[in-house]
Every structure is written in structure tokens, then in C-alpha cells.
Structure 1
Amino acid sequence: MQLDMPTLWMMLLLSCATQTLSVGWVAYRNSGDGLGIWAGGLALDTLAIVLLGLRERIPDLLSIVGGNVALASAYACFLAALLQLLGYRRRGWLCWAPPVLAAAGFAYWLDDLLARLLFSGVLCTAQLGILLGLLIASRPVGRGRHLLVGAFAISLCISLLRFLLLLSGQVEIVDVTVEVPIQSWLVLASFVSTVLGANGFVLMAKELADQRFRLLAQKDGLTGAWNRARLEEVARREIERQQRHGHPVSLMMIDIDRFKQINDRFGHAAGDRVLVAFCRLVQGSIRASDVLGRWGGEEFLLVLPDTSLSSAVELAERIRSLLAAQSFPDVEKVTASFGVTTRQAEESWAQWLHRSDLLLYRAKAGGRDRVEAYEESTQGTVRLSEQPA
């Protein structure tokens, strides 16, 4: 079945123009996620379709060189938009080099169809390969990313198929002005790719924004530590992981000593600075897998996956010593008390937390600025206690 080429070109043109307006409207006053750059790429893609579609009706310099430069620039915009959305540093040469190469190459081979088509195949394949590689290597996984991978994979297949047809000597089939069945299907595939790409990028931007909002909702606004809801989620996840694999998981409950007196004597602003500095100190002392959260007020929890009680106590003592040695502007010496436990078999989250809380209370009652811990053994309860020398 052969489809009408003028109808297909008009359908592709209207699709690109509509997607340009739609994405541009979504991007209005929202410049931080690359949507505006993507809309610019769609606009350039629309221009490329217009110029290439007017082949033999306008000068070749404008149609061939201008159309292919617009297409290379469109792919460069898509790359710049993806880099911005994913938070990567934009590499300028990857964005400006393809349009410059397109302008030079197509102008040089303006009268050589074979060389022009070979150059176009290499350039498009390289740009699409970079876009696909970036998406596949990126961390976010969602429906938007899948749509984008599909869109660029279709475009890459189109480019490779044109290149293979060219290498086989079928130059007339590769020429977009020739009305043959395979050319019709290639234009139809380009239409599908355009729709998938625009919708995929908008969806990916929304998914990443939703993820950022979820993370912000789980953060303590003052200290940047996780909040109570996130701590409970992590703790229950680690309990399930321990039940499956048997790895130890420890919990550290920390309370800054005499914090109310700090607020009363030096003001709440000074107290806030102490909380922020304390979190910064702890974050600098723990692993990436450890999770620090603010449980409430001046009380913090630290979930320690794959950590035995002795290792957790050692870490608590290190944090205690660093805090006691740190100087705070306008505030006298700041200390903290610690209750440290390792989860026991069949122990619920509430029971585990309660044991840590009791040990923290014992550290407070024992004079503060100390670490209290205990573990169960076959000989009974063994108490571990650390206090300043």
C-alpha cells in the first residue's frame, strides 16, 4: 500500500507545529526543566520539514542546507533540554558542533546527492545515538523516559535504514522527494516518533518534578535531614530487608543536651544554627547508606543498615566526641546523649524504637554527653556504655 506523500508531509508538519505550540504553552513561565528548549527544538524540526518539503520549489541552498541545519539544530536542542532536565552540565560543543558541521557539509556537497545523503546519515545517526545513550544511562526510570527511548529508537532506525539503502545503491529511494512505498512508511514513522518524543519529554519532566516534590515533602525544612514519616518508611524497609537476608541493622537515637537552655539563653536563631551544624557534622561522619532524620525538636534518629551494635556504638562515640569538641558562635559547649540498639529477631518497629528511647533516657539520667547501648546474648543482657573520659 502506498500512501499519498503530500498528505503525509502535511500531517507531519501539522503534528510538529501542534506539538511545538503545546510544549511551548506548558513551558511558559517554567524555564527550569528544559521544556522551553524542547519546544525550540520542535520549532526547528517544523522548519526543517517545511524547507525539505519545498525541495525543487525553492533554491537548493535554502531547502537542502537550511533544512538539514534546522534538523541538526533541532536534535541539538533536544540534547540540551535533556541535559538540563537530568541535571547534567551542558556541554556546549555537543550542541553547536552538529549545526555547524551540517552547514559546512551540505553547502560543500550541495551538488553531490550521494555524498550529501551519506553525510546526512552519519550526522543524524551520531546525534540520535548520543540522545539514546544519554537516556539509557540516566537514572530516572518512568513512562516518560520509555516513550523518549522509543521515539529516538524509531528515528535512529529510520536513519540507519536510509543509510543501508544508500549503501546498497538505492539512492532514488532515500531521496525524500521520491514517491515510493518505503518513503511513505518512513515519513509515517517520523510522525509517530515526533508524537512520542514530545509527549515523552513532557511526561518525563512531570515525573521528575513529582519526585522532587515527594523528596521535599520528606525533608525537614530547617536541617535538610529526613522527617519522621521518611524515617519510619526507611526503618520498616530495613526491617523487611533484615528478615529476608539476616543482615544486622542498628538504630541510634540522639538528643542534644540542654537544648531548651540554649534557646532560652541565646535565642531560637542560635538554637536553629546548632541543629543545622549538628546535622552537618553527622552527615559528614556517616555512610551514604545511613539515614539521618529529625524525629522531633532536638531529637534525631540514625538508621544504620548492615551495622552491628559494636560498630554503631563506635560511630556514636565518634559523633559525640566531634560534637563536644566543636565550637559554636555565641553558644557554649554543645553535647548530646545517645541510645543505640540493634534490632532483635521478631522485634517490631515500635519495640525497637522503644528500646532506643529507654537507652537515651538512661544516658540523660547518667549525666548526659554519653552513649548507652545493650545487646542480648545467650548469657543474658550485656550492657555497653560509653562516656567521656
Structure 2
Amino acid sequence: MQLNVPTLVLVDIYILALVGILMLHAWRRGRREPTLGYLSAALLLGVLGTVLGSLRGMGVDYLPLVIGNVVLHISAAMTWTTMRVFAGRQPHVPGICAGAVIWTVLCLNPAFYESLTVRIAVSSLITVCYTGLSAYELWRSRQSLEVAYLPALALTLFHMGFYCVRIIVDRGMPFDAAVASSGQGTNFFSLLVFETLLYAIGISFVTLSMVKERAELKFRAAAYCDPLTGVGNRRAFMTTGEYLLESCEHRGEPVALLLCDLDHFKRLNDNYGHASGDEALVAFTRIAVGSMRKQDVFGRIGGEEFACLLADADDEAGAQVAERIRREFAELPFQEPGELSVSIGIVSSREAGYDLFRLLSLADDALYAAKDKGRNRIQRYPAD
């Protein structure tokens, strides 16, 4: 297979520019995600560097050799910055400029400037460093990314490996000689342009996929989260609760449900304002979550109503947890002593089975019994 260098360079410029503009458009449509903005900058800088590099042999070699490579090294640095920003870190300006500065300083040395082999080795080494840093950013943040990062990591490592091979095998061919030999077989410069083109397309696609996947995760989390207290809402509680009940039924473990309702919540809002009511909700959430285990399920299922599913717990264990929550909440310092209290209805799978709707219904009966008996108390089902 023969790869025509001028055609490859034109295709490379066209596709990089097209993908860069598309990434720029995607970034402008969603400014909360700067990753695509940095990726667009990397691609468009790559276009500029490639255009400048193609001017070799026209009597202004300092422009492609010095300025063109400076732009390409900044482009590689922006690719690293793309992964760094996606991982939640700030851009590192000295690191972005380091490759370009090193290249500029070395080009002031006539021996370096005149040696094509040394220039290729140094330029490839700078690219390897930036690509390795990109892979490092993905790997060090793999636990927190929560997206499919392996395709991006694999592409980055392959690109780094290609430039490592180039350091070893590419002894250098002037650009005009590479163009002249286009019809006589494939040279390494042709492979370089071809691989860079495929890498740019691949890394753009997988980065866009990672950004989209993370955005979907955020929207999904927002749909299942109560914005005031930060715990799961009714939808999250019902979904996660069903999984917990199914798992406990399979293992033959009992389950206890606590249904909690803050007492006189409307009066609390009327007397002290909605800010105080929100403060009470947040305080109750903090106390309840502190009494839960990792395997338990807790959520805000109504205005001032909360539900707790306790795995591997009968009504006796549920009553102990409920009493601790009730006591700690009633003891919180507030506007006046005794203003905060909660009533809790308790039912276990022994009475209701592993049907979440039936558990909630029977716990609701117990909760109303607790209200009828004076509030600020716990009540097991069946009520006396």
C-alpha cells in the first residue's frame, strides 16, 4: 500500500479542522464542560502546526522547523490538559509551555538545528512525555471518573508507543524528499501522518463519549437525589429498596422498615420560617444517616417524611435504631426546647413479607398510631 504524502497532509488538515470545529461547537453548547474546549484547542493547534510544517523547502525553514513544532508541542500539551481537566484538575500552565520552551531553546543551538535525526528524536520525546502524562491523568483518576476510560487510555498508550518506536527507527527524511518519494512506497513520515490522523479522530470520539456519559450520570443522580438533604428521593428509595428486599429474601434475612414523620412541621415553618424548617430537615437527615449502616437504604419520600429500610434487622432491632434517632433529634438545640420531635412507625418483614408497598402501608398505620398517642414516640406494627 502506498500513502501519498501531500494527499495525507491535506486530508489530515481537513479532518483535524473539521473535528476541531465540531468539538468547539459542542463546547459552546455546553459551557459547563471545559474538556471539549481544551480538546478543540488541541485539534485546531494541530491544524496550524501541520500547515506550518508543510511550508518546508520554501525558503523560510525557521517557520516550519521552529514555530511549526512549537505549535505542535503546545497542541500535544493541550491534549494532556484535556485529560487533566476531565479528571477534575486545573490546567498546569508551566507544563503546557515546557515543551515549546525546550524546543525553542534547543533550536538556538546550530548543531541541533542542523541535525534532522536529533530534531526528530527530541520532538518525539516531547510528544511521548505529554502523551504519557495524558495516560497518567486517566489512570490516577480511574476510581473517581465513573466512566468508561479504558478506550481513551488504550488509544493514548498506543500513540505513545508509536512515537517511542519513531525515536528508535526514524532516522529522518526531509519533507521535500518524503513528498518526492510518495509514489515509490510508504515511508515513515507517511505512517506518522496517518497514525496521528487516526489518533486525533479516535481520541475525539472517546473523549466526547466520556463527557456525554458523565453528563448522563449527573442527570441521573440529580433525578434520584433530594436537593435539600442530599439523600435519595422517593424514586431512589423505591428502586434501591426493591433491590434490598429481593436480596434479603433470597438470603432469608429479616428486614425492618422505619417510617419517620417530623412532628408539627407546619407549625415549625409558620413560627420560625421555612429556613428553620429546612434546617430541621437537614439535621434529621444527618442524624438518621449516622444511624444507618452501609447496606441500609434511607430516603426522603415526602415533604417531612423519611423512610429507612434496615437489612438483616427485625422489629426489635428496628425499634432500637428508631429510638436512638428519636432521642438524638429531640435533644438538638433549636429555637426553644421541645420544638423538634419525630414520630416513627416500625414494621418488619415478619408482618408484611418482602413487599415494599405493603411494608410502607403497614408502617404508615403504625406511624399514625404514634401520632394519635401524642407524637414524639416510636410505634411498632401492629399498634396496641
TM-score between both structures, scaled by the size of structure 1:
0.81
Q: Deviations over 1:6-33 (max 9, x none)?
A: 1001111111111111111222253321
- Do 2:147 and 2:214's aligned partners in 1 also have CA atoms closer than 8 Å? no
Counterpart of 2:156 (choices 144, 152, 155) is: 152
C-alpha displacement at 1:229, in angstroms? 0.9
- Look up the equivalent residue of 1:6 and give its one-letter code: P
Deviates more, 1:221-230 or 1:260-269: 260-269
Residue pair 2:263, 2:342 contacting (<8 A) in 1 also: yes
Aligned counterparts, 1:175-194, within 5 A: 178=178, 179=181, 181-183=186-188, 184-194=190-200
Separation of aligned partners in 2, 1:91 and 1:311: 53
Superposition CA RMSD, Å: 3.5
- Give the 3-state SS of the residue equivalent to 1:296 in structure 2: coil
User: Matches of 2:126 and 2:315 in 1, distance apart?
Assistant: 59
- 8 Å contact kept, 2:56–2:175: no
* Relative contact order higher in (CA < 8 Å, ≥ 6 apart): 2
Equivalent residue runs for 1:16-27 within 5 Å: 16-27=16-27
User: Structure 1's 115 and 267: CA in aligned 2 closer, same or farther, altered over 3 A?
Assistant: same
SS at 1:297's partner residue? coil
How much has 1:46 moved relative to structure 2?
1.2
Of 330, 348, 353, the residue aligned with 2:355 is 348
Question: How far apart, CA to CA, are the structure 1 residues paired with 2:23 and 2:45?
Answer: 13
TM-aligned CA deviation for residue 160 of structure 1 = 2.3
CA distance in 2: counterparts of 1:110 and 1:342, whole angstroms:
80
1:325 & 1:91 partners in 2: Cα distance?
Answer: 49
Residue 176 of structure 1 and its aligned partner are, at CA, apart by 9.8
For residues 88-115 of structure 1, give each alpha carbon's deviation from its aligned partner in whole angstroms, at most 9, with x where no partner exists. Answer: 3545554443443343345553233333
Mapping of 1:1-40 within 5 angstroms?
Answer: 1-28=1-28, 30-34=30-34, 35-40=36-41
1:195-214, CA deviations, whole angstroms, 9 ceiling, x for partnerless residues? 12222222322222222122
Q: Which residue number in structure 1 is paired with residue 113 of structure 2?
A: 110
Q: Is 1:298 equivalent to 2:304 in the alignment?
A: yes
Give SS of 2:114's match. coil
Aligned to 1:162: 166
**Take 1:177 and 1:283, find their aligned partners in 2: how far apart are those partners?**
71
- Give the secondary structure class of the aligned counterpart of 1:172: coil
State the shift of 1:192 in Å.
1.4
Structure-2-length-normalised TM-score: 0.81
Deviations 1:36-80 (A, max 9, x none): 222111111112212222233354433223233222222322233
Deviation at 1:234, TM superposition (A): 0.8
Maintained 8 Å contact 1:150/1:196: no
Counterpart check, 1:213 vs 2:214: no
Give the C-alpha shift of residue 355 in structure 1. 4.1
How far the C-alpha of 1:223 sits from its partner, in A, is 3.1
Q: Write out per-residue CA displacement over residues 138-166 of structure 1, whole angstroms, 9 at most, x where no aligned residue.
A: 344556x4553454244223212212324
CA distance 1:91–1:354, shift in 2 (3 Å): farther
Partner of 2:342: 336
Choose the corresponding residue for 2:277, options 271, 274, 280: 271
Q: Which amino acid aligns with 2:32?
A: G
Paired position in structure 2 for 1:377: none
Instruction: Please list the CA deviations of residues 320-348 of structure 1 after superposition, one character each: whole Å capped at 9, or x if unmatched.
Output: 33322222348962011233455469622
Is the 1:33–1:84 Cα contact (8 Å) retained in structure 2?
A: no
Instruction: State the partner residue of 1:69.
Output: 70
> 1:281/1:24 Cα in 2 relative to 1: closer, same or farther (>3 Å)?
same
| Offset of residue 300 of structure 1 | 0.7
Moved more, 34-43 or 309-318: 309-318
For residues 124 and 306 of structure 1, what CA distance do their matches in structure 2 show? 56
Structure 2 contact 116–172 (Cα < 8 Å) conserved = no
Unaligned runs of 5+ in 2: none
Q: Secondary structure at the match of 2:259?
A: strand
1:266, 1:331 within 8 Å by CA — same for their partners in 2? Answer: no
Alignment check: 8 A CA contact 1:327 1:333 kept: no
- What is the Cα deviation at residue 244 of structure 1? 5.0
Query: CA 1:117 to 1:185, structure 2 compared with 1: closer, same or farther past 3 Å?
Result: closer
Are 1:327 and 2:328 an aligned pair?
Answer: no
Sequence identity percentage: 28
Work out the CA distance in 2 between the residues paired with 1:312 and 1:97: 61
User: For residue 6 of structure 2, what is the amino acid of its counterpart?
Assistant: P
SS in 2 for 1:237: helix
Deviation at 1:269, TM superposition (A): 4.3
Question: Which segment is superposed worse, 327-336 or 212-221?
Answer: 327-336
Using the alignment, how far apart are the partners of 1:241 and 1:187 within structure 2? 55
